[in-house]
Chains A and B, each alone.
Chain A
Amino acid sequence: MRDNMEAKYDFERKFRDQVLQCSRCGFCQSVCPVFGATLRPAYNARGKMLLLKEVMDGTLDLNDELIETLFQCTTCGACAENCPSGVEVPEIIKQARKDMVHIGSCHPAFTGMNKVLKEHDNIYAEDEPEDFERERNGKAEYVFFIGCVGSYREDERTTATLDLLDYLEVDYTLIDEVCCSGVLEDVGHPINEKHVRTNIDLIMATGAKTVITGCPYCSRTFNNKKQYAELKEKGVKCIHLSQFLKDIDIGFKTDKKVTYHDPCDLGRHCGIYEEPRDTIRKIAPNFVEMRHHHEKALCCGAGGGVRGAYAANSIAMARRRLEEAEEAGAEVLLTECNSCVHNLANAKLRKQKLKIYTTTEFINLLREED
């Protein structure tokens, strides 16, 4: 037993007690989206903790063979939420990923992503952002920060959001934004300081006091990463779109049965559950919850880099979430995260009559029907 030896990796230094606290009860199996979609215990939180325990004990070493499980975790946090023994699995995994990258062991998708962000300003290496035909870098009360998924993969939904903001006469400007690069720290790499700098400078230049993000990942990055602390210090607030909309009485209504999917980044990671529901309940009185909701929401499978590295399993996870929407009898599924909506929409089968929108996209649709 390596108890008396020097800790070899940072994950041991920071989280040794927690890894030991794992009682192997297996309760995490009932909530882990990756295990739920694959039934492979190696992917489950317990399986990951067992591996790390063996690394700590010196039986195993971190190596390439561990990539398949250590980098296949959406960091959704459902395991930690459900763990009676108090193991904060996602934090441990993120640190273990940093240790892996440090020894040169990383999933090629993330090594690739790190490289892409060094050479481009978005995770897709696209050179031309969609032109949303709006002003960029102007002066306004709000900055609307779109995020990579919204700019390059869900441009139609972003246009709908911007149309709605225009209708509500919000004084906002877009900026020549670059990737918030928050995802890098979740997959073992350091945040991209150059991109952080670019974003902060562009935001400050607009004179805006509030940044509204369309993507919970971005808002979590702006609020929690120390590299973006300067914004707060300079009096700039960062909120997610759902928090902005919640007090506005938009006025459109539908009698369709609507359900809401809590994005992990908005829900479990930021505690924002009610604001999106406030808005949705106003427009859709016939609101139903899925079997797993609020802190127990089932992850859509896109997060933590999994959609990029393990797309097939990612989509399989999204399919399980859609089954819950169908089980609840929902005709419409709304969510507040472009990553979620992208993965869920890709996963929807043709025979499923359910419609999937972001909340603002749906509101805009109702407005256009009016």
Chain B
Amino acid sequence: MEDRLKKALIEIVGEKNYNDSLIDMVSYSYDASEYTHRPSCGVWPQTVEHVSEILKLANKEEMPVIPRGGATGLTGMAIPLKGGIVLDLNHMNRIKKISIEDRLVVVEPGVVYDDLARAIAPYGFFFPPDPASSQVCTLGGNVATNAGGVRGAKYGTTRDYVLGLQVVLPDGRIMKTGSQCIKSVSGYDLTKLFVGSEGTLGVVTEITLKINPMTTASTTALGTFDDVEDAGRAVSQVMHSGILPAVLEILGKEAIMAINQNTDLNLPEVDAILLSETDGYTQEETDYQMSKVLEVFKANNAKEIKQAQSKDEAAGLWAARKSAYAVLARLKTHQVLEDVTVPMSRLAEALKGIQEISKKHNIMIATYGHAGDGNLHPQFVYDGYDQDQVKAKRAASDDLFRMAIELGGTLTGEHGIGMQKARYMCWEHDDVAMDVMRSIKRMVDPKNILNPGKMALDEG
């Protein structure tokens, strides 16, 4: 890091909010993905003015800036691929406002999801999109990737809840988008442009989120299936049941086995388990909804049906589901998680297709995910030191995305593109769409300093 630039950054944030020591640079080289690259330094901005000054400086010096929150992203969004300054937003972690009557909260990007949940729970409210990483992920990141979570089928994703943002553009200008109203159609919807933009169009420094009243009753149940296609068909047919479960998750055999290694749950190690939750305001109602779901399970050859007998038991099952990504790490040295999403009617085919790809390339693919909105999480688990397995994984990935797109699906339901899926962007998007995306990027970031090298925006 050039001394002159170091001095300039310290001038902005103060000496204790700048670091370039080895141990920090190593941490900042990684997120939860498989990628790594060293940055030049890290800074901890405390205010939006800091962020603005830093971007102004970086823009002038043509130095890359990479925003970073909890760094739980799986696609390499927070990796400083071209070096530069890591903008560690974790110190901007205040919940600035809770307004129950306006049904909203205003938060800084470094607020951890679970901390927000805990702050609004006493009012009987919750923020529905809850990613599996909720105990560590930060809301700035959730906005950057339009995070989903297990309640997506009924409650939607982050984008459905962002009412407005404060954003700092790559040239340092500070902009407000959206409003404090539940709905608005005033001008272009800039808010929705920035949600899911993966830190490539601007740095989010304040988020206004819509929140929902909590439901007070719920029913949780699981069904076991000896054939994963049966499970897939069951999921599609739940759409005919007349009700919408709050959660409908699938766990494949490898995921079940890994979870059993980490907990005392002793889940039956079958081809697939469907885990569902219905919610509402009376137990009678949620039980009724669940009975509809279970009818569909039974009609599709569910072998065993089990209902959770207590809130603790239900909580245990959901905690296990949320740990699926990391428990699979016990099996082999490397794992890469994908999140291809297909239309609900094609789910059974997708599940079968994944099994075939796994057989064809002789590589383990553990599948689990948000079956209720068609969002699967096929996880490649392999020995990353074995070059044959690395090659097999690459080829299997190609087949996976090819299949998903053929089924009318999309590369990613909620994790984003980042580095991981950049090379497949042109498989899903036509040339015109890619051109428009790149034009928008060039317009707000002509020097390409903000999180460069991601989302295939640099090519073309």
Contact = CB atoms under 8 A, between A and B. Distances in A.
Q: Give yes or no for direct A-B contact (beta carbon below 8 Å).
A: yes
Interface of A: 1, 3, 20-27, 29-30, 39-42, 44, 46-47, 50-51, 54, 60, 65-66, 68-69, 83-86
B329 interface: yes
Nearest to A21: B329
A42 B26 contact: yes
B21 A65 contact: yes
Contacts of B262: 84, 86
B71 interface: yes
Contacts, number: 96
B30 A50 contact: yes
Contacts of B29: 50
B26 A39 contact: no
Contact of B72 (A21, A26, A39, A60): A26
Contacts of B93: 39
Q: Which 4 A-B pairs have the closest CB atoms?
A: A23-B329, A84-B326, A84-B323, A85-B329
B133 A26 contact: yes
Contacts of A83: 326
Contact of A1 (B21, B23, B44, B385): B385
A106 B374 CA distance: 53
Contacts of B23: 42, 47, 51, 65-66, 68-69
A98 B425 CA distance: 48
A85 B330 contact: yes
Nearest to B328: A23
8 contacts: A21-B333, A25-B72, A29-B70, A30-B136, A41-B71, A65-B23, A69-B23, A83-B326
Interface in B3-49: 21-24, 26-33, 44
B90 interface: yes
A47 B27 contact: yes
Contact of A3 (B32, B44, B327, B385): B385
Contacts of A25: 32, 72, 133, 136, 325-326, 329
A256 B278 CA distance: 42
Given A41-B27, A41-B28, A30 B135 contact: yes
A44 B27 CA distance: 9
Given A24-B30, A86-B262, A40 B24 contact: yes
Nearest to A29: B136
Given A30-B112, A86-B262, A23 B326 contact: yes
A146 to B, nearest CB: 37
A220 B188 CA distance: 64
Contacts of A66: 22-23
A141 to B, nearest CB: 40
Given A50-B26, A86-B262, A26 B32 contact: yes
Of the listed residues A29, A39, A84, the one surrounded by the most CB atoms of chain B closer than 10 A to its CB is A84
B335 interface: yes
Nearest to A40: B24
B261 interface: yes
Nearest to A3: B385
Given A39-B91, A50-B30, A86-B262, A27 B24 contact: no
Interface in B325-363: 325-330, 333, 335
Contacts of A68: 21, 23
Nearest to A87: B329
A86 to B, nearest CB: 5
Nearest to A291: B118
A60 B22 CA distance: 10
A20 B323 CA distance: 17
B207 to A, nearest CB: 19
B32 A42 contact: no
Contact of B26 (A29, A30, A54, A85): A54
A23 B337 CA distance: 11
Contacts of A51: 23, 26
A22 B34 CA distance: 11
B285 interface: no
A20 B381 CA distance: 13
Nearest to A51: B26
A309 to B, nearest CB: 15
Contacts of A86: 261-262, 327, 329-330
Contacts of B329: 21-23, 25, 84-86
A127 B26 CA distance: 44
Contacts of B323: 84
Contacts of B91: 39
A27 B385 contact: no
Contact of A39 (B30, B31, B90, B135): B90
Given A20-B333, A29-B70, A84-B262, A42 B326 contact: no
